[in-house]
Structure 1
């Protein structure tokens, strides 16, 4: 079962049958709508117009400088201070196993050029949840959408994800500076805590002295995932509840965020702490508008942006 809010087209709950026979909600969320607006965290939200960071909120498009809203250490993050996670989406279609929501982002919204019509469809079939994003524009712009759900396969409120294991199908990751902006080219994962090519227990990996882990107080990095098209990119597993989720994506990158800054009220009077959930966010790379040699986030009139995410839950 998946519950979705119109505020931010947000995934509010994802209930699954776990391997220990207990049915749990494995998606973090907040009881009060006011907390979703007032406390940063993007819990479950649809992110746009540009997921991740743009350095200093500046880039050049067709020779013209563009300045967009900044909200994170001088950079644009997840669309700016009033991104799509803070807006009410319209329900266009609602059936027993799916819902489609839409949003029109005006030309100049948070500084981004072009009026953009965006949509997201959530559908559930068996143990699979599918998230489909689309967008069109009336002028050249950049679009990079994702879903920002935090998962904890032990259940919302169960504590940290330290005991979970994670696999990411990537041979390279993107080192960043102290503000989360890429410092250059991608780097091999070999010999680093970012080598998640085999099942890796998260707790020890997040407590190494690697300078990139220290900068982010954990992992908050882009992984250059192998392959193209819709394919498996990651697997998260909880040995405690004997539950897994395989993540499929058609995007070139995967931002892995181990909830290093999680805070604020959750559900049933609980408060979140760092590491209480993990966000696996398929997208193009951070600061791509300033890296013309990376996969492009450009969207032109007449074209349609599309991205697909699948969560395939299973038991061990």
Structure 2
């Protein structure tokens, strides 16, 4: 019998140590289907209808665990302990220097080579099939981070076609925490994403150097190719003569969101794909959003044009990059007795 709503579980492959990965399939009453694995918490697929009611997968992913373990560039993954880059993989905390795993040139990216995207999480499904919960205990010293961190991530698929992701974490000693999801989207399910129309609710962005480390400048987006306050095609200005676009090989930048108040959930971004009519809205309570235009995709990771150069984009709710080294920015340090909590959502609809 085919499951029409709820959550089902199936094998997703075996890890080298013999442990089995699973794939959980979430279905709602609106016909939306989402695949999530307990390996890396990866969102493997998101099937949503176009204006004609035809379902297509709008999220890049693989059909089994092995590519996620070896070659995946964070497709759909849970990111931690720290999303984005930390310069030279080093920071000082309470007078103690810490060296993290170096996995991006000279820098630390997305929690390290064996970050949360490459661990097997403990999975459980709510008795009423309303949510999938993943848990992970990150020990002291993992990828260089101080203290043990216990993380809980909850995925829920609503009948309003919103996939909500809730993060909670506690620690036994001070440590940086900046959790997010790294889904790659192509709302047409084919071709490139340059014609997708993007809105980002941000008046400024983070300037970066050639290694994509923040320079310290937070320029206004006004009168630059980074102004997405009104919807603009992603490809309209991506080839403009602008040093920041050269540094990022396109868009690979953090935007400071126009939050009404710290921690307030807001519409951070909206993307419309004209040919299909599909719309993605990204909701977040985080202060920033990373926009990446698929500049390093090259077709080597899978068949289909969406795996090719600029065949997908990412919108990652987060804190400022490299903030453990920048005391003027909002803190990302979690301390014993505190609870990290954040919420984000990917909501899909059809443009009228």
TM-based fold match above 0.5 = yes
- Number of aligned positions between the proteins: 313
TM-score by length of structure 1 reads 0.96
Partner-residue secondary structure (3-state), 2:324: helix
Quote how far apart the aligned CAs of 1:25 are.
1.3
Which 4+ residue blocks in structure 1 deviate beyond 6 angstroms? none
Change in 2 beyond 3 A, CA 1:92/1:194: same
Mapped contact 1:31–1:266 kept (Cα < 8 A): no
TM-score by length of structure 2 reads 0.86
Partner of 1:53: 85
Partner of 2:252: 220
CA distance in 1, matches of 2:40, 2:187: 23
Mapped contact 2:191–2:305 kept (Cα < 8 A): no
Aligned alpha-carbon RMSD (Å)? 1.4
**Structure 2 counterparts to residues 161-240 of structure 1, below 5 A:** 161-227=193-259, 228=261, 229-240=264-275
CA distance in 1, matches of 2:252, 2:92: 26
Greater gyration radius: 2
2:166 is the counterpart of 1:132:
yes
Partner-residue secondary structure (3-state), 2:236: helix
**Structure 2 counterparts to residues 80-95 of structure 1, below 5 A:** 80-94=112-126, 95=128
Partner-residue secondary structure (3-state), 2:125: strand
Aligned match for 2:318, one of 246, 266, 283: 283
Partner-residue secondary structure (3-state), 1:254: strand
Deviations 1:263-304 (A, max 9, x none): 43236x778222111110000010000111111110001111
CA distance in 1, matches of 2:247, 2:292: 13
Long gaps (5+) in structure 1: none
CA distance in 1, matches of 2:186, 2:64: 20
CA distance in 2, matches of 1:270, 1:169: 29
Partner of 1:123: 156
Mapped contact 1:145–1:283 kept (Cα < 8 A): yes
CA distance in 2, matches of 1:41, 1:275: 14
CA distance in 2, matches of 1:168, 1:290: 26
2:129 is the counterpart of 1:96:
yes
CA distance in 2, matches of 1:160, 1:288: 33
CA distance in 1, matches of 2:182, 2:70: 17
Long gaps (5+) in structure 2: 1-32
CA distance in 2, matches of 1:271, 1:249: 26
CA distance in 1, matches of 2:286, 2:275: 30
